Structure 1
Amino acid sequence: MTQALLDAVARYANAHADSDGIAVTPIPGLTLIRATRPSALQYAVSKPLVALVVQGQKRVTMGNDVFDFGAGDSLVVTADVPTISQITEASVGRPYFSLVLDLERALLTELSVEMRLAPVADAAPIRTEPTHAEVADAARRLLHLLERPASIPVLKMLLLREMHYWLLAGRHGSAIRRLGWPDSNIQRIAKAVAVLRSDFAQPLPVEKLAAVAGMSLSSFHQHFRQVTSLSPLQFQKQLRLIEARRQMVAEGASASTAAYAVGYESVPQFTREYRRMFGMPPVRDVSATRMSA
């Protein structure tokens, strides 16, 4: 990992990060993260992405798998999967910095065809590797556009395309290649996941989701769990609980207000499922989260 990339991430993140340490950029899908101390546990249903850590350390857990990685490493997530993450090394004098880029399936499809990449068997949805030199260099030049805003509309797609190319050509290529095949099971499941993400607060019959994916009901159940590690109902439940937690922590919503907002009809049921996922009932969890922040 080059000092030039660290300097570029630090400059933008120091100037633009919000109170949560997130710096959204004008380049779609590109976000920078800054933290000056270790974080609390963060729950999410991650989208396909690549995260380049340029300073500090982080831990990501998916099920029983734990990934510890730091400066010079990249984390690649190749499916919509539930994760628990925590920044484990950060300080005021040496902040944690990372660059996160959403993986564009359409771009991966185009490049996979042009590069004549053969389909590969399903791989683990999360993996870490040392960051490829070409990926780091493309990331540095992509960040350089942020300092010259007039260049962004003209050059962003060229550099995003280059970065996706080097990801496919480098150490992470075998892991993300399956995202680029238009009729693959992961692409079909992605269509159903998009519906779940946008309409998670609404009742969503599994039959409707299977139709969106173009699969039979039994095939859909099988492949959905293979891709996401969850059943469709569990996936929707986690989306609801994570959003309810966000509303309570960030917006001050009460447990009942958040429960109804995300689609629950019973507050006791919401409380039981919330405790099962986060380890504490809503009020105690929100209070502890705010104190730690």
Structure 2
Amino acid sequence: MSGVFRPMMCMVLQGAKEASIGGKTVHYDEACYLVATMELAGRGRVIRASLERPYLCVALSIDLEGLASLLPAVPVKEEGQQPAFAVNPVTDDLIAAWGRLLGLLDTPEDIPVLAPLIEREILYRLLQGPQGAVLRQAAFAGSHHAQVRRAMLWLKEHYAEPMRIDDLAEMAGMSPASFHRHFKAAAAMSPLQYQKALRLQEARRLLASNADAARTAFAVGYESPSQFSREYARAFGLPPARDAQRLKGVRMEDAV
């Protein structure tokens, strides 16, 4: 499945999955967890599951304001340029916190009071982990990470519009060269590649809903249907019309 990863933590309880963002692919299973700190365009694929042992995971959206409130309590680690997504080993502290959070399902009356406290503990454990530095950057409004994310959010809302690197760099408060470098370091792709990924993902969603290929191309910002068809096939393995048929077939099988 293609989509946009929101700032989140994902921990696999059973099975295994891979996530591909830009030119980087990571795998995670019961022994590790995924952290994403930006709205990253990518793909996810379950790579280990069966009827007897289906894929099962838990995920927590990262509250950046809540994260920021924890920064004074966690020592600052060395901060270099880090990607906005990574896989790290699961710790006993994280497993214990998640166990308590899931245990609240048995006492729903406790959820309003206790769930926020346990979610805060999970964020605290993440700040203590290998991704602590990049999480700190995500929570700090003046960091390069936060500046890049500001431009990324604009692209997510305006993916069909023409894009100028100079305008995005100004939005982020950086020089064009610095913006391009920090964007690629965080997202594993250039701003242009990010925009293209967003366009193609939205096109795939429209095509699965019976939209016409040529109209879809123009709707997501392409000026040439033939260029759209080439880039779509390169991204998803089939031309738009054939991929739409495949998607509809998969959905029909799921319904059956």
TM-score category of the 2 structures, normalised to the smaller one: 0.7 to 0.9
| TM-score, normalised relative to structure 2 | 0.84
Q: 1:70 aligns with which of 29, 32, 55?
A: 29
Answer whether contact 1:119 1:177 (CA < 8 A) is retained: no
Distance apart, 1:64 and its partner CA = 4.8
Where 1:230 maps in the other structure, the secondary structure is: coil
5+ residue gaps, structure 1: 1-41
Please, which moves more after superposition, 159-168 or 253-262? 253-262
Residue matched to 2:218 = 260
Q: 1:279 aligns with which of 219, 227, 237?
A: 237
5+ residue gaps, structure 2: 252-256
Distance apart, 1:119 and its partner CA = 5.1
Question: Structure 1's 230 and 170: CA in aligned 2 closer, same or farther, altered over 3 A?
Answer: closer
Matched, 1:54 2:10: no
Residue matched to 1:20 = none
1:129 maps to a residue whose letter is N
Aligned residues: 251
- Percent identity over the alignment is 35
Partner deviation per Cα, 1:14-37 (whole Å, 9 max, x = no partner):
xxxxxxxxxxxxxxxxxxxxxxxx
1:96 maps to a residue whose letter is Y
| TM-score, normalised relative to structure 1 | 0.75
Where 1:95 maps in the other structure, the secondary structure is: coil
Matched, 1:219 2:178: yes
Distance apart, 1:148 and its partner CA = 5.0
Residue matched to 1:133 = 92
Instruction: Give the distance between the partners of 2:34 and 2:236, measured in 1 at CA.
Output: 24
Question: Structure 1's 275 and 283: CA in aligned 2 closer, same or farther, altered over 3 A?
Answer: same
Matched, 1:200 2:159: yes
Where 1:215 maps in the other structure, the secondary structure is: coil
Answer whether contact 1:243 1:262 (CA < 8 A) is retained: yes
Residue matched to 2:188 = 229
Residue matched to 2:135 = 176
Distance apart, 1:208 and its partner CA = 2.9
1:165 maps to a residue whose letter is Y
- Write the mapping of 1:93-172 to structure 2, written as runs, cut at 5 A: 93-118=52-77, 120-146=79-105, 151-172=110-131
Question: Structure 1's 237 and 63: CA in aligned 2 closer, same or farther, altered over 3 A?
Answer: closer
